[in-house]
Amino acid sequence: MELRLTLHGHMVLYMETDIGPNIILNWTDLNPLPIQGVGIMTGWGADGIWIIEHKSFFIGRYCGIPATYGDMKILSSSTQSSRLSCISKCSPISVCLGVNFNLLTKECELVYGGQLINKLSRPDWSFHTKCLKGTAMCLACLV
């Protein structure tokens, strides 16, 4: 199933079938509430993989989670003097989702986008992702 929701309140839920898409719901909310976050889960104890696609742009802000490491494919690794200088290395690179920054060693890892977000608890690290079209859409803080 796929759900498409616009900022103007138009919602379409459909399922792909052998003969094409089957629309299950097509509705427009005339008084839509602003979306401040998204919650996704697989029910009844089942395992699942969710693919979240977005059509947004980077707004220049980051969301960070202390004591967390983004255990994902790394674009590059370097030593930077601060978390801010680490983040500035990611900002101009469109395929960079965010950074891992080690507070003790000053290691800076640029995290590649287009992959599942996997976070680990690591006390010396902080994981930061780009915010897209508003601070409510910062992937590290949503997942």
Residues 19 and 64 grouped into a single domain: no
Dist CA 32 CA 5 (whole Å) = 11
Torsion sign, CA atoms 63, 67, 73, 77: positive
Number of domains in the chain: 2
Residues 71 and 136 grouped into a single domain: yes
Residues 65 and 22 grouped into a single domain: no
- Enter the DSSP assignment of 38: -
Residues 11 and 72 grouped into a single domain: no
β-pair partners for 48: none
* pLDDT at residue 139, rounded to an integer: 58
* pLDDT at residue 135, rounded to an integer: 45
Please say if the pLDDT value at position 121 is more than 80.
Answer: yes
Q: What CATH number does the domain containing 78 carry?
A: 3.50.4.10
Tell me if 51 is assigned to some domain.
Answer: no
Tell me if 42 is assigned to some domain.
Answer: no
Tell me if 53 is assigned to some domain.
Answer: no
Residues 22 and 71 grouped into a single domain: no
Residues 64 and 113 grouped into a single domain: yes
Above pLDDT 90, what percent of the chain?
41
Residues 78 and 130 grouped into a single domain: yes
> Which residues constitute the domain of residue 4?
1-31
Tell me if 50 is assigned to some domain.
Answer: no
Tell me if 67 is assigned to some domain.
Answer: yes
Tens of pLDDT, residues 13-39? 888 888 888 999 999 999 887 766 667
What pTM was estimated for this model as a whole? 0.60
In sequence order, the 6+-apart residues with CB closer than 8 A to the CB of 88 are none
Model confidence at 53, pLDDT cuts 50, 70, 90, reads low
